[in-house]
Structure 1
């Protein structure tokens, strides 16, 4: 209540908001918990709109917002929020090479609507990269320059700092008070991954963020996937700990910390997948359930996802703004002092599961058979340095002949170089090496030569695609190269100076006059024993691997010798 000048009480009007590019309603749920009336939401994807409508009980229109007529918008709106699509801006999509011009169309439309409705407050969420793009385009001559009067300021926040159990960095742009938002930061640490997993395993189920309990029979989308197969474990561990380019990350994911960003798409063998150890079982690992992901994304266990399949629900969860964060934004957009803001469990006491409940969607299952051109690309751990300097075993499936081989890369992320590893290279290295060095390397090169010569390389692609049993598996070959690489590096450490000279000579031999300008050469000579070991191994095994290739029939999707 607010006292007027005449001494009479006048009820404060509830703030009215619209949610643009609303997805499943992460903004809407948070704002409603903060006491804001969400008048309408707008979203192109029908299943997300259905999810929003059934959970948040307000008008949710399925519409292409780029074609939304301004005259059809509600009036007397105090707050505008939204999350325009991030696909064109995200570095994780298309390697950062999205169509920025197309992506900016949605931001232009969002700001056009803000300019038309003239709300008191507005906020827009997107990936961190968008912050710099908006700042640049708001300048004179930029495509957003006409909106400079809207008071837009960009901020990149880590939502873990605001109580979300996920290290999720996002751009939040708008005309809100960032210092007020910072004043909402909790004094205690957010839930951990372990808190989420144990809370959902309890009986009754305890919502780890919102604090209330529900019967286990009421918990939806908490079906565990098959355990990861030994091959899937190996691939996940390699993708995280010895990736060919990116820095290492822990495997399995630590239970005593918040988690990495929950993504909209991932496979059973992706670097982005969060993988946890199964308690009480050695070498048993699984991915998270949909409900575990949703809780880590700040959704209450009562929130339901009305997707037709598992993949749709993954997309709904990963693309959403965490409502536990948008709740705080709802308070900021109403300019409430931190002391006036109830804790989230206090604001969420009225939450109930919507009806009807969605259909349970079966999770992904372990792959039984893969495409005949399934790729393999993994660094040899003992022959890998940081910053992308590595020897890797891979297969080339671009043509009718599948070719296995060892490749070498060095330089920087903006200037990647390589050296050919073939018979000619093997001869050159032999002629440039002195007798003692050749003797030190000989037994290890003979061991790897015999291993490859006796291995069923011709059948390896069929084994890798799960079309045939038995035979040599790619990881068996990788492990052998790793073992020989470690032993040979140690042996060559007694010849480090000579090894450095041989490496420099090979670079000059293969790159000629351009060798002087190559980046990263000094790093190779500082690690000469490791690099020369990789060069010797790669140029020894590649001719043997190339001599044992096989064809695959694209039309029949089958492999033939």
Structure 2
């Protein structure tokens, strides 16, 4: 076991450094991070505060594209010699969370190639010191990175016939949960590096519970120290930031998240709230409370909360003395969510040192901060107001199915559209997704298969709803109203209608488990789907079309 200072440390330069997660792992392994670049001020400040340097600040403002095309003399000043270069270009354009991975790739590719241009200039220059370089990004990025790049492709013709090999045998998607990170976070790694050694298998991966329980309760009561489950040290609780507070999620938000997670239609179910006995889901850069990707924890009976910044930082394997500099929880959350998990970075750094026969630092290097730090905003004991639902804009779109009623991939959907500035409501039967997706609109569907009493009941119910709704316009206005306002006024919007139909299916029509054949479409439709579609179709056909 080696202590920091027992040997001459190798140097690292970090591009797109963010809050410093990539740097932190190399720092803890025994490397010296001598320079880092980003263009976001909170990231630069956070990196510098957690990695102070007596002579000058390590992290600086720097546009990587502009750096990559600097003249040689200026370039060498901006990019000092180092044995290792690391970089994690912005992943928004390549991420699955960005419109299912359909974001604009042009800027993302430009930044990737800018980073590779910097690597090539340092690697192929005379008397180069560079031995290893790593590129980290979301899994999708591998489709946009070539196996290798000529100097001409990187606009470096003057360097000659060199070729930068990017995808070697180690290039792969790595799941950080196998490297001590309590998160199921998959990332693509390529470059010239050594394969990191897994520290956990499926039986020993760290769970969300492993990360959260050592942090204690949100009040900070009944304990004086907080244990770090990632780096195995204790810290006085007054030195642990961004942990002791509760930010509750409003019911209208978590209700939406619950449906997105468990009733998305064509997508699989997700845990709601989070399953503490599995590694955490991927921490996103945006602190959402009403999406499928939202991370939601139980608070009190029937109530839910956001994770604290310290909790998500611990999930991402940041040490508990690491500070995030931003004047709001959303900025701090973005700093955490965009980072490379330090434990995974440590595994990459350790593999390099072992391969080079150098000792690896295994004693945690604690952080030190000024006693008074005016730049730091600690969220401990902050009171957050519960979010109040606002009225939606009139032209807000709606598209959803009868809740929790999906049979053989069939579902009944209600949706709106605007034609010549006027709202139009439609009912459709949907099946499956992607290339196999089908949409059906049956104009002559009847309920001959139903018991007479049941069909009469439906007719009475439809007439009642038509009277309550009145018109397409009123249904749209009801949809735009906050839930509390609808309850107070006894009004029904599209969600309430769909919910009522589901209740009818459960309470009165639960015995209809057969199928109806439609010869025109040559399909068999489940009876419950036919019933729900018929009800919606009759309501839509009966209310006033304006």
- Scaled to the shorter chain, the TM-score interval is 0.7 to 0.9
- Equivalent position of 1:477 in the other structure: 497
Instruction: Considering fraction of residues, name the structure with more helix.
Output: 1
Q: How does 1:355-504 map to 2 (within 5 A)?
A: 356=373, 358-360=376-378, 365-373=386-394, 374-385=396-407, 389-396=410-417, 400-403=421-424, 405-414=426-435, 416-420=437-441, 425=443, 428-430=444-446, 435-437=448-450, 439=452, 442-455=455-468, 458=474, 460-464=478-482, 469-474=488-493, 475-486=495-506, 490-493=510-513, 496=515, 499-500=516-517, 502=518, 504=519
- Equivalent position of 2:11 in the other structure: 16
Cα offset, 1:463, TM superposition: 3.1
8 A contact 1:380–1:482 mirrored in 2: yes
* In 2, Cα distance between equivalents of 1:123 and 1:214: 33
Cα offset, 1:80, TM superposition: 0.4
SS at match of 1:391: strand
SS at match of 2:183: coil
- Equivalent position of 1:518 in the other structure: none
Cα offset, 1:483, TM superposition: 2.0
- Equivalent position of 2:215 in the other structure: 200
Cα offset, 1:467, TM superposition: 5.8
* In 1, Cα distance between equivalents of 2:456 and 2:240: 61
Asked if 1:347 is matched to 2:363, the reply is yes
SS at match of 2:413: strand
Asked if 1:28 is matched to 2:49, the reply is no
- Equivalent position of 1:547 in the other structure: 544
* In 1, Cα distance between equivalents of 2:27 and 2:234: 21
- Equivalent position of 2:102 in the other structure: 97
Q: After TM superposition, which residue ranges in structure 1, 4 or more long, deviate above 6 angstroms?
A: 139-147, 337-340
8 A contact 1:55–1:354 mirrored in 2: no
What whole-Å deviation, never above 9, does each CA across 1:382-406 have from its counterpart, x for those lacking one?
532465x422344547875455554
- Equivalent position of 1:81 in the other structure: 86
User: In the comparison of the two structures, how many residue pairs are matched?
Assistant: 502
* In 1, Cα distance between equivalents of 2:535 and 2:296: 33
Change (3 A) 1:73 1:386: farther
Asked if 1:533 is matched to 2:531, the reply is yes
* In 2, Cα distance between equivalents of 1:75 and 1:226: 43
* In 2, Cα distance between equivalents of 1:131 and 1:299: 26
SS at match of 1:472: coil
Give unpaired runs (5+ residues) of structure 1: 2-10, 509-520, 550-561
* In 2, Cα distance between equivalents of 1:375 and 1:205: 47
Give unpaired runs (5+ residues) of structure 2: 124-129, 218-222
SS at match of 2:273: coil
SS at match of 1:259: coil
8 A contact 1:191–1:208 mirrored in 2: no
* In 2, Cα distance between equivalents of 1:485 and 1:399: 36
SS at match of 1:94: coil
Change (3 A) 1:382 1:83: closer
SS at match of 2:181: coil
* In 1, Cα distance between equivalents of 2:202 and 2:440: 54
What whole-Å deviation, never above 9, does each CA across 1:86-140 have from its counterpart, x for those lacking one?
1111121133222223211111111111111121011111000112322467599
Change (3 A) 1:412 1:208: same
Cα offset, 1:160, TM superposition: 0.6
- Equivalent position of 1:160 in the other structure: 177
User: Superposition RMSD on alpha carbons, in Å?
Assistant: 3.4
Asked if 1:150 is matched to 2:145, the reply is no
- Equivalent position of 2:39 in the other structure: 44
Q: TM-score, normalised by structure 2?
A: 0.82
Change (3 A) 1:137 1:380: farther
SS at match of 1:493: coil
What whole-Å deviation, never above 9, does each CA across 1:519-540 have from its counterpart, x for those lacking one?
xx5xxx2x53233223322312
Cα offset, 1:148, TM superposition: 4.4
- Equivalent position of 1:126 in the other structure: 137
Change (3 A) 1:272 1:104: same
Q: How does 1:172-191 map to 2 (within 5 A)?
A: 172-178=189-195, 181-185=196-200, 189-191=204-206
Q: TM-score, normalised by structure 1?
A: 0.80
Cα offset, 1:437, TM superposition: 4.2
- Equivalent position of 1:559 in the other structure: none
- Equivalent position of 2:127 in the other structure: none
8 A contact 1:247–1:386 mirrored in 2: no
* In 2, Cα distance between equivalents of 1:418 and 1:82: 45
8 A contact 1:137–1:143 mirrored in 2: no
* In 2, Cα distance between equivalents of 1:462 and 1:382: 23
8 A contact 1:225–1:365 mirrored in 2: no
8 A contact 1:126–1:170 mirrored in 2: yes
